[in-house]
Chain A
Amino acid sequence: MMLLAAILIPIVGGALVMVLPFKKRAHMAVYLEIVVVITSLLVGLIISEGTTGRFPIVKFVNNLSLSLELDGCGMVFAGLVSALWPLAMLYSFEYMKKEKHEKVFFMFYTMTYGITLGIAFAEDMLTMYFFYELLTLVTVPLVLHTLSREAILASRKYLYYSLGGAAFAFIGLVFLMIYGTTVDFTYGGVLTPETLGDKTNTLLLIYVIAFMGFGVKAAICPFNSWLPQAGVAPTPVTALLHAVAVVKAGAFAIIRLTYYSFGTDFLIGTWAQYVVMGVVMFTIVYGCSRALKETHIKRRLAYSTISNLSYILFGVTIMTPLGLAGALTHLVFHAVMKICSFFCAGAIMYQTEKHYVHELDGLGRKMPAVFGVFTVSSLALMGVPGLCGFISKWNLANAAVMSGNVMACFGIGALLISALLTAIYMLSIVIRAFFPPEDFDMESVKEYRDPNWMMLFPLFLFVAAMIIFGLHSAPIVQFFTDISNGVL
């Protein structure tokens, strides 16, 4: 019951924003923050109580129903989202001061929260698919927000790609309905090899199709071009949605598909595993290479996201419990790192109106807080030991080595090449900012300064999180390992 409440509060609360009269902008901000914080607290309460049983919402067709349940995997995703949303909300209040149509924006922004929780709490593939499609719909207006020509084109592309991907994932859903013992998410999968017989190859093909379908949202090649284009949206949208909620929903869906629906026992060692692993490895390197060439800050970070999402998927395609643990680790840690980077980029754009990397010379001296945080998140993304990125990369590589899968070893190589490229494209920004060429005119950046506390506070929290996770990750990694072994 509480699960349903957690989903509905943000949806209703967000919808009410359009209707309630607010005398001052600050009132609206407070109201929204309260709605989001209440939901996060509720989610925290739910998680602390542990796994729950099934809660059906409504019956659907053919003995299917929409129902909610909380298991370990869902806890991770829901916990992540609920921790980040209040901070993102805070940040966006300040950021959106300079944009128009605030009410509509905040309505959809809050509703997205509820729907993302719906994906986390979904008990079976049908419910997850339901909320997955709704997620696309409710985030389109956010991408469309600025209503410029690029925004319209970007939202169109996003819509087509997402709906298209979901259409193919739908095929997977239907096959599971027919050939699985149940559509519920069960650790280890719902397919029994005996009943399948000669249909095995067909089902492997369907798995690949469904993987690619959900993978559209998780921005795998060749379906990733929507993500950099969606960078035209306001930064709170790109940061939270396209670095955390939407794309991680895609990765989460693939985790559910692989470990809880088709089951790794069925998939491991088959040609399907090699195909998806190959796609993922390619995406890892591709994303980083494109990031290198890209000069627009937010698009560069978007390509970095594409690459990092495939780290998570790489863990998934290793198809062992360790692989899942590594994937979950990177799911959480990357969300923190990337949202931090995007918020820094947003702060820079907000304060200076500069959008391109080559315009950032010398700004490090004037905005030390923002660029300091950006440096930390760059180091974390590269995988410097002491910060969280190293831990998640370690877990992924460890899983790959332990699995004994030859392709996975090449995957480690892809990870490291990507780390090298990440170092280059992230640190080059940092170096420019702190060490501009000697003939640089410091007068031209005289008037820039750090943004106010509403934007800085989340940034500092993220830095603390990255450092704490980097130095003391054992408890949370243990939690992930328990989930991946099916204990939770």
Chain B
Amino acid sequence: MNFVQNFPFFSIILSMFSGIVSSVLPARAAKWLNTILISVVGAMSAVLLVYLMGTGESYVYWMGHFPAPWGNEIRAGVLEAGMALFFCVIMLLSMTGGRKKLLGEVEYSKHNLYYILVNLLLSSLLALVYTNDLFTAYVFVEINTISACGLIMIRQNGRTIEAAVRYMIMSLLGSGLFLISLCMLYDLTGHLLMSNIKESVAVLVSHHQYSVPLMTTIGLMCAGLAIKSALFPFHSWLPDAYGYSTVSSAAMLSSLVSKGYIFLLIKIFYRVIGFEIIAESKVINVLFVFGLLGMIFGSLSAIRENDIRRMISFSSVAQIGYIYMGFGLGTESGMTASIFHILSHAATKSLLFIAAIGLTDVSKGSRQIVDLTGAGYRNKIAGFAFTVGSLSMVGVPMFSGFVSKLLFAEASIGHTYKMLPAVIVLAISTILNAIYFMKTVIRIYVPERRKDCEVITIKNEKEYAVTLVCFIVLNVMLGMLSQPIVQWIHTGLSMFG
């Protein structure tokens, strides 16, 4: 057993441990601990990824010394390691980008609480990525929910508390559905380890036994996770939660939290139920339709928004719709496209949130889009970053959004009846995205002399600028050099099941 293979376990334990330690640390120390932690975990994941690409197969790691099917397992493959690495990168960048605002919006004494929550969030994400046990997954789903709520609420004002409460209610509803389906699955198969469940399910399906309960289970599981990841029409909590929380929270929530649940769903598709069974069931058709609806309605609501943060949040609803549409196609290329979009969206959405905060800061803190006229000149780096993010969202070639679009379109062609709706809605969604993003881009570049607004230059805000530049580079890399990444996804999926 190679030392490297311990890394997933180390990552999870380290994060949890740091979380606990941070409770007694002062704010500054907690900040450093957090940063170091994320970097270390990221490095470990990178090494693991390289190792796994070398060996070419995934492995199973026993937690404790109880063998299957009674013990707990971690499974690490190319896809998981890469995901973990990616999550770390995004988290790190989001934290650095929003650091200054954190100082402004949250009481200093509460900072270490914030870092606790972030560490816990990291640990639960990693666990969701790596775990091979369904119940463990549930446990960490709950931990994820709690830390996410905390992240929203850390900035205390009426809006965030209301948002957090709403989020908690919807999330718990989702978790509840997930738990019910988990119990039913356990009932049907008698296993909690994913690989074992899969074998049992395969047997059940081939004998046509318990088909209705099985379908119900799958449906509930999907519904639960869909609610938690804000698929239309369960997205109502999202704009408030993303819109009013502090910037790093918004970035992390939109990029990581919902993606964690989606990744879990993918895992369930491949490793619990089995991809072929899922592909034949009617569940994915429902996902497809809701995905399409989300794409349209998310963008339509965004067009009507005047608050820039809420506009970006509604855009998230639309983008999550894209991902579910990819699922709904029920083919491997559809999955690949969705996974690529997870990466692309995570990178772009964080970028947008952090850039947006830069723009509002130079407009006397106003978040109304009409007040942002000329902000592109007052904070040049934020304006440029926002433009890049918008172009990526619209799907202009050179940026990651275009590759996502390309992959989705390619995936949908060939389908007899899903092809045309997918392709047409994709085109319409591009136009809608163009409308609200481009309108804002033009507005921030219409010059307006405002004497009373401060001007932010790169010199004042080094950390902020560096973060944005990193995000832009990430975006362009995903856009222009996507071939190795798509290759990685393919390899990962092939060893995923």
B405 contacts chain A at the CB level, 8 A cutoff: yes
Pairwise interchain contact B447-A147, C-beta atoms closer than 8 A: yes
B397, B410, B442 pick with most chain A CB within 10 angstroms: B397
Pairwise interchain contact B395-A167, C-beta atoms closer than 8 A: yes
Q: Which of A17-65 contact B (CB under 8 A)?
A: 58-62
A134 contacts chain B at the CB level, 8 A cutoff: yes
A479 contacts chain B at the CB level, 8 A cutoff: no
A129 to B395, CA, bound (A): 12
Pairwise interchain contact A163-B482, C-beta atoms closer than 8 A: no
Q: Say yes or no: A59-B483 contact (C-beta < 8 A), given A133-B397, A167-B430, A174-B413.
A: yes
In the assembled complex, the CB of A484 is this many whole angstroms from the nearest CB of chain B, namely 29
CB neighbours (8 Å) of A432 from chain B are none
Pairwise interchain contact A129-B397, C-beta atoms closer than 8 A: yes
CB neighbours (8 Å) of B434 from chain A are 159-160, 163-164, 167
Pairwise interchain contact A170-B438, C-beta atoms closer than 8 A: no
Q: Say yes or no: A61-B447 contact (C-beta < 8 A), given A175-B413, A178-B414.
A: no
Pairwise interchain contact A178-B430, C-beta atoms closer than 8 A: no
* Interface residues as binary, A166-184 with B (CB distance below 8 Å gives 1, 0 otherwise): 1110110011011100000
A144 contacts chain B at the CB level, 8 A cutoff: yes
A134 to B486, CA, bound (A): 24
Closest residue of chain A to B429 (Cβ to Cβ) is A167
In the assembled complex, the CB of A485 is this many whole angstroms from the nearest CB of chain B, namely 33
Closest residue of chain B to A144 (Cβ to Cβ) is B442
Pairwise interchain contact A167-B427, C-beta atoms closer than 8 A: yes
A390 to B419, CA, bound (A): 46
Q: Which of B28-42 contact A (CB under 8 A)?
A: none
A156 to B435, CA, bound (A): 8
A163 to B430, CA, bound (A): 8
A60 to B485, CA, bound (A): 11
Q: Say yes or no: A61-B406 contact (C-beta < 8 A), given A152-B442, A160-B434, A160-B435.
A: yes
B407 contacts chain A at the CB level, 8 A cutoff: yes
* Interface residues as binary, B285-304 with A (CB distance below 8 Å gives 1, 0 otherwise): 00000000000000000000
A137 contacts chain B at the CB level, 8 A cutoff: yes
In the assembled complex, the CB of B334 is this many whole angstroms from the nearest CB of chain A, namely 14
CB neighbours (8 Å) of B426 from chain A are 167, 171
> Residue A163 contacts which of B431, B480, B486 (CB distance < 8 angstroms)?
B431
A229 contacts chain B at the CB level, 8 A cutoff: no
> Residue B413 contacts which of A62, A152, A167, A178 (CB distance < 8 angstroms)?
A178
B409 contacts chain A at the CB level, 8 A cutoff: yes
A59, A155, A168, A170 pick with most chain B CB within 10 angstroms: A170
Closest residue of chain B to A132 (Cβ to Cβ) is B397
CB neighbours (8 Å) of B427 from chain A are 164, 167-168, 170-171
B396, B420, B427 pick with most chain A CB within 10 angstroms: B427
Closest residue of chain A to B424 (Cβ to Cβ) is A171
Pairwise interchain contact A130-B397, C-beta atoms closer than 8 A: yes
CB neighbours (8 Å) of B413 from chain A are 174-175, 178-179
Pairwise interchain contact B483-A170, C-beta atoms closer than 8 A: no
B398 contacts chain A at the CB level, 8 A cutoff: yes
A160 to B398, CA, bound (A): 19
Q: Say yes or no: A62-B410 contact (C-beta < 8 A), given A163-B438, A164-B430.
A: yes
Closest residue of chain B to A151 (Cβ to Cβ) is B446
CB neighbours (8 Å) of B406 from chain A are 61, 174
A163 to B419, CA, bound (A): 21
A411 to B434, CA, bound (A): 36
CB neighbours (8 Å) of A152 from chain B are 442, 446
Closest residue of chain A to B333 (Cβ to Cβ) is A62
In the assembled complex, the CB of A202 is this many whole angstroms from the nearest CB of chain B, namely 8
A144 to B442, CA, bound (A): 9
A167 to B430, CA, bound (A): 6
Pairwise interchain contact B431-A58, C-beta atoms closer than 8 A: no
B439 contacts chain A at the CB level, 8 A cutoff: yes
B423 contacts chain A at the CB level, 8 A cutoff: yes
> Residue B398 contacts which of A130, A140, A156, A159 (CB distance < 8 angstroms)?
A130
> Residue B430 contacts which of A59, A170, A179 (CB distance < 8 angstroms)?
A170
Q: Say yes or no: A160-B438 contact (C-beta < 8 A), given A61-B403, A129-B397, A167-B431.
A: yes
B394 contacts chain A at the CB level, 8 A cutoff: yes
In the assembled complex, the CB of B468 is this many whole angstroms from the nearest CB of chain A, namely 20
Pairwise interchain contact B442-A174, C-beta atoms closer than 8 A: no
CB neighbours (8 Å) of B394 from chain A are 163
CB neighbours (8 Å) of B407 from chain A are 61
Pairwise interchain contact B397-A174, C-beta atoms closer than 8 A: no
Q: Say yes or no: A62-B486 contact (C-beta < 8 A), given A164-B430, A171-B423.
A: yes
Pairwise interchain contact B486-A61, C-beta atoms closer than 8 A: yes
Q: Which of A121-168 contact B (CB under 8 A)?
A: 129-130, 133-134, 137, 140-141, 144, 147, 152, 155-156, 159-160, 163-164, 166-168
CB neighbours (8 Å) of B397 from chain A are 129-130, 133-134
In the assembled complex, the CB of A167 is this many whole angstroms from the nearest CB of chain B, namely 4
A59 to B482, CA, bound (A): 9
Q: Say yes or no: A159-B442 contact (C-beta < 8 A), given A164-B434, A170-B427.
A: yes
B225 contacts chain A at the CB level, 8 A cutoff: no
A218 to B486, CA, bound (A): 35
CB neighbours (8 Å) of A133 from chain B are 396-397
Closest residue of chain A to B414 (Cβ to Cβ) is A178
Closest residue of chain A to B397 (Cβ to Cβ) is A130
Closest residue of chain B to A167 (Cβ to Cβ) is B430
A274 to B438, CA, bound (A): 35
A174 to B397, CA, bound (A): 14
A202 to B427, CA, bound (A): 17
In the assembled complex, the CB of A415 is this many whole angstroms from the nearest CB of chain B, namely 32
A147 to B449, CA, bound (A): 13
In the assembled complex, the CB of A56 is this many whole angstroms from the nearest CB of chain B, namely 13
CB neighbours (8 Å) of A177 from chain B are 410
* Interface residues as binary, B371-400 with A (CB distance below 8 Å gives 1, 0 otherwise): 000000000000000000001001111100
Closest residue of chain A to B427 (Cβ to Cβ) is A167
Pairwise interchain contact B442-A155, C-beta atoms closer than 8 A: yes
In the assembled complex, the CB of B166 is this many whole angstroms from the nearest CB of chain A, namely 34
CB neighbours (8 Å) of B420 from chain A are 202
Pairwise interchain contact A134-B398, C-beta atoms closer than 8 A: yes
CB neighbours (8 Å) of A178 from chain B are 410, 413-414
CB neighbours (8 Å) of A175 from chain B are 413
In the assembled complex, the CB of B486 is this many whole angstroms from the nearest CB of chain A, namely 5
Closest residue of chain A to B480 (Cβ to Cβ) is A58
> Residue B405 contacts which of A163, A170, A179 (CB distance < 8 angstroms)?
A170
A171 to B398, CA, bound (A): 18
In the assembled complex, the CB of A487 is this many whole angstroms from the nearest CB of chain B, namely 32
CB neighbours (8 Å) of A171 from chain B are 409, 423-424, 426-427
In the assembled complex, the CB of B332 is this many whole angstroms from the nearest CB of chain A, namely 13
> Residue B438 contacts which of A60, A62, A130, A156 (CB distance < 8 angstroms)?
A156
Q: Which of B54-79 contact A (CB under 8 A)?
A: none
Pairwise interchain contact B409-A174, C-beta atoms closer than 8 A: yes
A164 to B410, CA, bound (A): 19
Closest residue of chain B to A59 (Cβ to Cβ) is B483
Q: Which of A355-406 contact B (CB under 8 A)?
A: none
In the assembled complex, the CB of B327 is this many whole angstroms from the nearest CB of chain A, namely 19
A140 to B390, CA, bound (A): 15
CB neighbours (8 Å) of B398 from chain A are 130, 134
B419, B431, B435, B447 pick with most chain A CB within 10 angstroms: B431
Other contacts beyond A133-B396, A147-B446, A202-B420: 7, CB < 8 A:
A140-B442, A163-B438, A167-B431, A170-B430, A171-B423, A174-B423, A179-B413
A-B contact pairs, 12 of them (CB 8 A): A60-B480, A61-B482, A144-B442, A152-B442, A160-B435, A163-B430, A163-B434, A164-B434, A168-B427, A174-B409, A174-B413, A179-B413
Q: List residues of B whose CB falls within 8 A of some A CB.
A: 391, 394-398, 403, 405-407, 409-410, 413-414, 419-420, 423-424, 426-428, 430-431, 434-435, 438-439, 442, 445-447, 480, 482-483, 486
Q: List residues of A whose CB falls within 8 A of some B CB.
A: 58-62, 129-130, 133-134, 137, 140-141, 144, 147, 152, 155-156, 159-160, 163-164, 166-168, 170-171, 174-175, 177-179, 202
- 4 closest A-B pairs by beta carbon, nearest first, are A167-B430, A174-B409, A164-B431, A130-B397
